Amino acid sequence: MQSVRYKPIALALLFFLNMTPGASAEQAKHKHNEKTDKGRNVWNYDGGVFFETDGSLPNGVCFRVHGQMSSGDFFNGLKRIDTDQSTVFQRGNETVTKFPDSVTVSFSIRDQLCPAGVQQVGTRPYLTGKMIEELRLSLYWKHGVDLSPVKGVREVNSRVDRIQPYAASLAADLPARYEWSYQFVVPSAGVSLMDSLALVFRPPDGRIAARVAARL
């Protein structure tokens, strides 16, 4: 894919504390590769915590967000063990209760066809650089139903890649499509592993265009 630099997505400086949290289109994906018996479920997080959701803009553009929360080798070997009595996180024989000092959140945004019944009649609109520039991202640590805005978030990388069509011979006749990718370092010292990191995307009118949580 062709790579070029692009103006990064703006990180919202004002957070909306009265937002009602909601479920994402798809919950965070985990590996579940150990036996479940006697009410005991074991999840492992090698490679980090993955998340994915769908969103839409008021102009009829639909898009998908997919990403990952990682932190060096912190998640490698980390397991969540659920029983009828409790939930514990372990790495080997060590019990882990808190996130490391910071986590790295990487995600990409690309447009996609809207679900049946949502797509507007007429020419399909595509996600553009201007639409991405106008999106505002808010980050929260979510504990139960309580949301705490994250402070001190630092962007470390951003890029945009041209998406090549499957039919390469028709490339000149098709609208250009792109995938925007971002990486942020998010402070997480002292945050419980039972909490989740919520990402909320809003266009200029303030409505929620997409929301998703990276949760263990």
**Exposure string over 20-30, b if 16+ CB within 10 A, otherwise e:** ebeebeeebee
* Residue numbers in the chain where pLDDT is lower than 50: 1-8, 10-29, 33
What's the pLDDT at 24? Answer: 39
pLDDT tens digits, residue range 108-130? 999 888 886 655 555 678 899 99
Rounded Cα distance between 177 and 128, Å, is: 8
pLDDT tens digits, residue range 15-45? 333 333 333 333 444 555 455 556 789 999 9
What's the pLDDT at 37? Answer: 57
- Architecture category of domain 3-19+50-74+97-214 in CATH: Sandwich (2.60)
What pTM did the predictor assign?
A: 0.80
**Where exactly are the structural domains of the chain?**
3-19+50-74+97-214
What's the pLDDT at 126? Answer: 87
* 3-state DSSP assignment of residue 3: strand
Identify whether the C-beta of residue 21 lies closer than 8 Å to the C-beta of residue 36. no
Question: Residue 96: how many CA atoms within 13 Å on its side-chain side?
Answer: 21
